């Protein structure tokens, strides 16, 4: 918004409270009548005595004795718009619904995959409670544990694959579970390894995964499985492609070892990889923003009967926190978890706007993973799950 002349855009009603137990579907958690927007001029030129700590949100920017006028207008806004394209994507249903219960720990932290047969979303808990897998129904809000036939270690990523789910897991080396990729039936809990080594070397921390329609899949192997004590590591932390037959191959290795999220464009021709700060709460790590706050893009090109990643490039940098999990809509817009909630980037990498979601209990990030269920965005808010009807489709 260019000035206070459009006060209607400032309405943001925060309903509900943290820690409240809401078991039923469709309880309104946060709601706003519209967006708070900020002009390019205000965005680019703040009063010159502005200050902001990189560990805090843009809206905490101060100038002189108070908040900069521009940033102040964005305070307590659910939807922050920097480009009119943001409002088109968000559409008119400006309500974040809570689906299922709030729990005291991060049960909706990792994953995720949409299960169209049952209209459920799969979430894994965080590394403090490794290996818990739950399905949450978007119809009823019921949360059902996946009846795993045996433990799968610290599961972090999931994608649909041939009617089942491929899971990327850090494993749990001390309890005999290697790091790798497994195929899981989420209804009866049976699973089998698809990949658990690279020529005898342990993976470090398979973190996120996407499947291609030719039967191959791609995953990130990040250093986090080693630093968090789940795997001894050994293989190169990198992005691996696993073709339908034959060994796994490294396709990208010029990124920080803290590679994390992975997503694919709808035409499967562009691959996106996010990298994450090793320790987001350590100011020494966080200042200045380094390469580990970025989303990279690369073309996935057919060559020699296989596929290569070509023209790896910076797509976007998170100004607050980092992109952990993220997904694309059909038009290449990127919906990425961030320190603010969800950052929405256009296909050209421009930050169109943010969905500001207050931090969940016991997490540095407000949101770590999200997934499209058709035109609904389902957001893992760590202790609970939120859902937003969008004017676009995943
Ligand atoms: C679990 O479901 C899969 C189909 O997804 C089936 O092949 C398998 O036999 C089932 N296992 C058990 C123990 O029911
Ligand atoms: C991250 O940094 C904070 C602040 O320096 C420190 O207290 C914490 O122990 C660090 N965490 C890890 C996992 O190294
Ligand atoms: C980038 O894309 C957005 C829409 O997603 C558009 O509004 C903006 O003008 C584009 N920027 C450039 C430089 O083309
Ligand atoms: C808004 O979206 C929710 C689902 O997230 C849906 O139940 C509701 O009917 C929608 N409201 C309108 C006015 O479209």
Query: For 154-198, how does the pLDDT look when each residue is reduced to its tens digit (9 = 90+)?
Result: 999 999 999 999 999 999 999 999 999 999 999 999 999 999 999
| pLDDT level of residue 325 (50, 70, 90 thresholds) | very high
Look at residue 88 and tell me whether its pLDDT is greater than 70: yes
What the chain holds in terms of domains, given with CATH numbers, is: 99-337+361-389 (2.120.10.30)
Which atom of ligand 2 lies nearest, measured to the CA of 285? 2
Token reading at 102: 């709030």
| pLDDT level of residue 315 (50, 70, 90 thresholds) | very high
**pLDDT reported for residue 3:** 29
Q: What is the mean pLDDT of the chain?
A: 88
Is the CB of 83 inside a 6 Å radius of any atom of ligand 3?
yes
**pLDDT reported for residue 277:** 72
Atom 4 of ligand 1, residue of closest alpha carbon: 185
Which atom of ligand 4 lies nearest, measured to the CA of 26? 7
User: CA 304: distance to chain centroid?
Assistant: 33
Look at residue 394 and tell me whether its pLDDT is greater than 50: yes
**pLDDT reported for residue 256:** 85
Alpha helices by DSSP H, the chain: 40-44, 69-74, 84-90, 224-227, 283-286
**pLDDT reported for residue 231:** 98
Atom 6 of ligand 3, residue of closest alpha carbon: 85
Give kind and range of the element (H or E) at residue 207.
Answer: strand 206-211
Q: Tell me how far apart the alpha carbons of residues 281 and 359 are, in angstroms, rounded to a whole number.
A: 14
Is the CB of 282 inside a 6 Å radius of any atom of ligand 2?
yes
> In this predicted model, what pLDDT tens digit does every residue of 225-283 receive, in sequence order?
999 999 999 999 999 999 999 999 999 998 988 899 999 999 999 999 999 875 555 55
**pLDDT reported for residue 86:** 98
Specify the higher pLDDT residue, 61 or 55.
61
Residue 348 makes CB contacts below 8 A (sequence gap 6+) with none
Lowest mean pLDDT among 27-41, 135-149, 187-201, 335-349: 27-41
**pLDDT reported for residue 25:** 58
Question: For residue 153, what is the DSSP state?
Answer: -
pLDDT more than 90, % of the chain: 69
User: What is the Å distance from ligand 3's center to 258 Cα?
Assistant: 29
Is the CB of 87 inside a 6 Å radius of any atom of ligand 3?
no
Half-sphere exposure of 127 (CA within 13 A, CB side): 18
Helix (H, G, I), strand (E, B) or coil at 181: strand
| pLDDT level of residue 358 (50, 70, 90 thresholds) | confident
What pTM value is reported for the model? Answer: 0.90
| pLDDT level of residue 10 (50, 70, 90 thresholds) | very low
Under the phi-then-psi rule, with left for phi > 0, alpha for psi from -120 to 50, and beta for the rest, what region is 4? alpha
Which atom of ligand 1 lies nearest, measured to the CA of 189? 1
Look at residue 7 and tell me whether its pLDDT is greater than 90: no
Atom 8 of ligand 1, residue of closest alpha carbon: 190
Among all bound ligands, the one having the nearest atom to the CA of 186 is 1
Look at residue 76 and tell me whether its pLDDT is greater than 80: no
Helix (H, G, I), strand (E, B) or coil at 41: helix
| pLDDT level of residue 21 (50, 70, 90 thresholds) | very low
């Amino acid at each position: 918004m260019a000035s206070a002349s459009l006060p209607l855009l400032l309405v943001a009603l925060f309903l509900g409270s943290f820690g409240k137990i809401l078991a039923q579907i469709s309880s309104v958690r946060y709601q706003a009548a519209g967006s708070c927007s900020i002009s390019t001029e205000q965005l680019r030129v703040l009063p010159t005595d502005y200050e902001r700590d990189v560990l805090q949100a843009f809206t905490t920017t101060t100038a002189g004795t108070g908040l900069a006028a521009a940033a102040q207008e964005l305070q307590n806004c659910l939807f922050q718009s920097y480009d009119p394209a943001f409002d088109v994507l968000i559409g008119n249903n400006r309500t974040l619904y809570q689906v299922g219960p709030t729990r005291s720990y991060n049960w909706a932290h990792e994953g995720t995959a949409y299960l169209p047969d049952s209209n459920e979303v799969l979430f894994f808990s965080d590394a403090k409670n490794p290996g818990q897998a739950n399905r949450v129904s978007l119809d009823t809000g019921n949360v059902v544990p996946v009846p795993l036939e045996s433990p799968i270690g610290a599961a972090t990523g999931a994608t649909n694959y041939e009617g089942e789910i491929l899971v990327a897991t850090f494993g749990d080396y001390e309890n005999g579970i290697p790091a790798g990729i497994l195929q899981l039936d989420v209804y009866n809990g049976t699973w089998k390894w698809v990949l658990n080594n690279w020529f005898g070397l342990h993976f470090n921390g398979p973190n996120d995964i996407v499947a291609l329609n030719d039967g191959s899949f791609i995953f990130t192997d990040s250093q986090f499985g080693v630093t968090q004590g789940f795997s001894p590591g050994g293989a190169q932390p990198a992005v691996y492609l696993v073709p339908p037959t034959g060994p796994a191959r490294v396709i990208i290795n010029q990124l920080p070892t803290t590679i994390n999220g992975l997503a694919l464009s709808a035409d499967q021709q562009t691959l996106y990889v996010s990298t994450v700060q090793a320790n987001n709460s350590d100011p020494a790590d966080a200042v200045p923003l380094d390469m580990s706050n970025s989303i990279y893009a690369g073309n996935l090109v057919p060559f020699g009967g296989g596929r290569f990643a070509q023209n790896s490039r910076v797509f976007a940098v998170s100004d607050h926190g980092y992109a952990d999990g993220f997904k694309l809509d059909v038009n290449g817009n990127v919906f990425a978890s961030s320190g603010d909630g969800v950052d929405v980037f256009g296909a050209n990498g421009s930050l169109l706007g943010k969905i500001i979601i207050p931090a969940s209990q016991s997490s540095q990030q407000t949101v770590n993973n999200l997934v499209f269920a058709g035109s609904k965005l389902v957001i893992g808010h760590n202790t609970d799950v939120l859902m937003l009807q969008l004017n676009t489709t995943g």
